[in-house]
Amino acid sequence: MTALALRSLRHRLPAVAATFVAALLGTAMMASFATLLESAGGASGEDQELLIIMGGVVGGWDALIVLFSVASTVGIIADQRIREASLLRTIGALPRQVRAMIVYEAAVVTVVAAAAGAAIASIGGPALFDALQRGNLITSSSTYAGGPASLLAAAGIVALVSTVAAGISSRRATRGPAAFSLRQAEVPARGLRWWRVAIGVGLVTSGLVSAVITITVTGKSDDAYAAMQTSGSASIVVGVGLATLAPLLLRLLARPLRPLLGGSGSGHLAALNTTRRAYLLAGMLAPVIVLISGAVGTLLMVGIDSRTLTAAGDPEGVGDTITTINSVVLGMVCLFAAIMVVNAGVAVVSQRRPELDRLWRLGATSDQLRTSIVMEAAMVAAIGILLGLLGSTATAVPYSIVRHEGLIPNGQLWLAPLIAGLAAVLAVGSAWGAQRRPAR
Amino acid sequence: MADHTHALAVEGLTKRHGSGAGAVDALVGVDLSFARGTFTAIMGPSGSGKSTLLSCVAGLERPTSGRVLLEGTDVTSWDEARRTRMRRDRIGFVFQDFSLIPYLSAAENVALPARLAGRRVGAEAMRLALERVGLQSRAGHLPSALSGGQQQRVAIARALIGQPAVLLADEPTGALDSATARDVLALLRSAVDELRQTTVMVTHDPVAASYADMVVFLVDGRVSGRMTAPTADAVAAQLAHLDQLTGVAR
């Protein structure tokens, strides 16, 4: 099975590339933050505190997005293998062997990608440290002390999460009798597993709790940045929570939107696909939610902060620097989330090639298939924007209240449509690009 | 013009895969015509060009040379979009793998070609179509909830509902057990007898071929013989003979 796994890797380059990119960039980001945490050990006083906040807290939100994205990508890829898994089983492979092949493959790809990502972070970590120092957030007496420990830990966590995700998804690929799934090339949809619902609901709840704590506790603190520590992560946590529940939410929300797709052949297919195959398209929906929720929530927070900082009292005069750091971190996270939107869009559409081919043989024109896929992507983007904006309020609203701007922030509301538009362009564009030649 | 009496005809049909020294001739100057309301089985050893013939007729592949005439109209030079519309509107296709869309119910699968053409299938027409294949009680089921035989019957209902000029079946019983296969073949036969549905079926199974009015044998991309009123035994004997022929030819 090991030899088979390695051979099969070479034949599925696009799928392998998706996993590789997610693990590479994810590890690069996670490990960069991890080096700050390691450097905190040798630093003193306020430097230590800041490095722990940057490495641990900010790095923690970042890790949440990274691990979610890696797990989600590996899941989409494993789902593509149901037919192959069935084929192997009909010629005598045990479900256990097929699962081992899928897990082994994911492990090989992510270990290589994570190692490369750690190498990137060995440059990115010092650069981040240097930026903090030049921004006077930490004194020149502290020195960068990131080493193999933090780099390897981050790479190890990414590889581990990816392997576990492959293990869980591989069970889905080998469920049920082999011949049955071979004929269907698709295991019938089933509801979300209880543990996934529990994780999703838990994350959303914890994000909402942070929001409440921001208003009731940290917002009243003397430290102007206490509120940011509790509310900053709320939109990311809620976003990831909603993304975990994406299949469920897509099914529920796509139904009322179905009439918008119209009664044409393409619209008909898109409407049924979004509701009945929500579990598949959810792979595309999830990163859109995370991108919009995290980016809009945090950017609005940064905007509120810079408008109200003087009034809130900024004794140390660090406001500008914090804004800069927030922007850098946010830029990285947004870029990563944007790449994940494209990654997922391409993977989901590529997975449907056999089905598109079948539709073409039955008389769907290339134009119809194209229109149908774009309609689906647009529907997914619209629902992702709705849920993402909802998630972003978990950060923006409490912070706005705490800084006395009321329920709605006083400015920069144009950020919401801008980021939503960007996410929609990415989602629809990647689906468009992936379907270029659906037939044959 | 004799063409008008034929639902389908091919003239000098040649299909070459690849080019240069590695080129393979899948079809070499095949002339065939299929009269309205007839049931023809195309047989031959593996690699004899049966499936290529069907693909060319359905417009899935473009022949290297020769003509395909559907109800007297030359469709060979039509562009991709036009051939797709022809497939949707004038050809019914039944595949070995059923080719049902997994997220559409039985009735929605049957209605799909019409939906793609921007039409809707009326409730009465749908009831009749499903009743013909004995699945009226399964209209709302997804393919995953149907047996292999039931799925193939849905596919037949889908192929018949548009009253196509010709129904093409590519190994329609290849994925079915023999009892289920007989039901499916009886269904195809009844469509020929009751609806005068011109049907062309590619098969390697002599029993399946015995349901047809005529069997055409292909060897190495050429028509090597015909048999009318076939029986399973006679077809099997002829096939064994063809295998010898190809053995000699190589």
User: Which value does ipTM take for this structure?
Assistant: 0.78
Average pLDDT over every residue of A174-194: 61
- Whether the per-residue pLDDT at A232 is higher than 90: the answer is no
Average pLDDT over every residue of A36-42: 87
In a domain, B135, yes or no: yes
Q: Give yes or no: residues A313 and A171 share one domain.
A: no
Work out the mean pLDDT of chain B and round it to a whole number.
Answer: 89
CATH label of the domain that carries residue B220: 3.40.50.300
- Whether the per-residue pLDDT at A439 is higher than 50: the answer is no
Start-to-end C-alpha separation, chain A? 30
Instruction: Domain count for chain B, please give it.
Output: 1
In a domain, B213, yes or no: yes
- Whether the per-residue pLDDT at A344 is higher than 70: the answer is yes
Q: Give yes or no: residues A61 and A167 share one domain.
A: yes
Q: Give yes or no: residues A146 and A287 share one domain.
A: no
Residue from B51, B108, B115 whose CB has the most chain A CBs within 10 Å, to mutate: B115
Structure tokens at B68: 């395909």
Q: Give yes or no: residues A216 and A181 share one domain.
A: no
Q: Give yes or no: residues A162 and A212 share one domain.
A: no
Average pLDDT over every residue of A340-351: 83
The residues, any chain, with a CB within 8 Å of residue B91's CB and separated by 6 or more, are B57, B58, B59, B70, B164, B165, B166, B167, B168
Which of B157, B162, B239 is closest to B172 using CA atoms? Answer: B157
Work out the mean pLDDT of chain A and round it to a whole number.
Answer: 84
Average pLDDT over every residue of A405-415: 85
Q: Are B107 and B100 in contact (CB under 8 A)?
A: no
Residues of A with CB under 8 A from a CB of B: 180, 183-186, 188, 264-265, 268-269, 272-273, 276-277, 355, 358-368
Contact B117 A363 (CB under 8 A): yes
Residue B3 pLDDT: 44
Q: Are A83 and A182 in contact (CB under 8 A)?
A: yes
Q: Are B65 and B12 in contact (CB under 8 A)?
A: yes
> pLDDT tens digits for B3-26?
457 899 999 999 998 888 888 889
The amino acid present at A153, given as its one-letter code, is: A
Smallest CA–CA separation between B215 and chain A, in Å? Answer: 25
Q: Give yes or no: residues A210 and A299 share one domain.
A: yes
Nearest-angstrom CA–CA distance, A338 and A124? 20
**pLDDT level of residue B87 (50, 70, 90 thresholds):** confident
Q: Last residue of some domain: A186, A203, A234?
A: A186
Residue B33 pLDDT: 94
- Whether the per-residue pLDDT at A412 is higher than 90: the answer is no
Q: Are A142 and A43 in contact (CB under 8 A)?
A: yes
Q: Give yes or no: residues A78 and A200 share one domain.
A: no
Residue B222 pLDDT: 92
Structure tokens at B131: 């009743």
Which residue from B104, B144, B148 is facing A272, i.e. has the nearest CB? B104
Nearest-angstrom CA–CA distance, A356 and A372? 10
Pairing of strands B222-228, B214-219: antiparallel
- Biggest CA pair distance of chain A: 72
Smallest CA–CA separation between A181 and chain B, in Å? Answer: 9
* B99 contact residues in A (CB cutoff 8 A): 358, 361-362
Which of B105, B184, B183 is closest to B139 using CA atoms? Answer: B105
In a domain, B6, yes or no: no
Residue A189 region by backbone torsions, left for phi larger than 0, else alpha for psi between -120 and 50, else beta:
beta
Contact A355 B101 (CB under 8 A): yes
pLDDT over 70, % of chain B:
95
SS3 A24: helix
Residue B19 pLDDT: 82
- Whether the per-residue pLDDT at B201 is higher than 80: the answer is yes
Q: Are A200 and A245 in contact (CB under 8 A)?
A: yes
Q: Give yes or no: residues A274 and A326 share one domain.
A: yes
The residue segments making up the domain with residue B157 are: 38-47+86-249
Pairing of strands B24-35, B6-17: antiparallel
Chain B, window 96-135: residues with a beta carbon less than 8 angstroms from a chain A beta carbon = 97-99, 101-104, 108, 112-113, 115-118
Q: Give yes or no: residues A153 and A299 share one domain.
A: no
Q: Give yes or no: residues A252 and A148 share one domain.
A: no
Residue A343 pLDDT: 84
Q: Last residue of some domain: A186, A216, A238?
A: A186
* B115 contact residues in A (CB cutoff 8 A): 265, 268-269
Q: Are B139 and B105 in contact (CB under 8 A)?
A: yes
* B113 contact residues in A (CB cutoff 8 A): 362-363
**pLDDT level of residue A262 (50, 70, 90 thresholds):** confident
Nearest CA in chain B to A176: B144
Nearest CA in chain A to B89: A363
Q: Last residue of some domain: A186, A219, A244?
A: A186
Residue B196 pLDDT: 94
Residue A333 pLDDT: 77
Strand partners, B201: B41, B169
Which whole-number Å values give the CA distances from A189 to A184, A276, B131, in the listed order? 12, 8, 28
Q: Give yes or no: residues A114 and A214 share one domain.
A: no
The residues, any chain, with a CB within 8 Å of residue A84's CB and separated by 6 or more, are A8
Q: Give yes or no: residues A409 and A297 share one domain.
A: yes
The residue segments making up the domain with residue A242 are: 194-440
Instruction: Domain count for chain A, please give it.
Output: 2
The answer to which of A190-204, A312-326, B90-104, B143-157 has the lowest mean pLDDT is A312-326
Average pLDDT over every residue of B111-139: 90
Residue A1 pLDDT: 60
- Whether the per-residue pLDDT at B193 is higher than 90: the answer is yes
Contact A359 B80 (CB under 8 A): no
Beta strands, E only, B77-145: 91-94
Q: What's the DSSP call for residue B43?
A: E
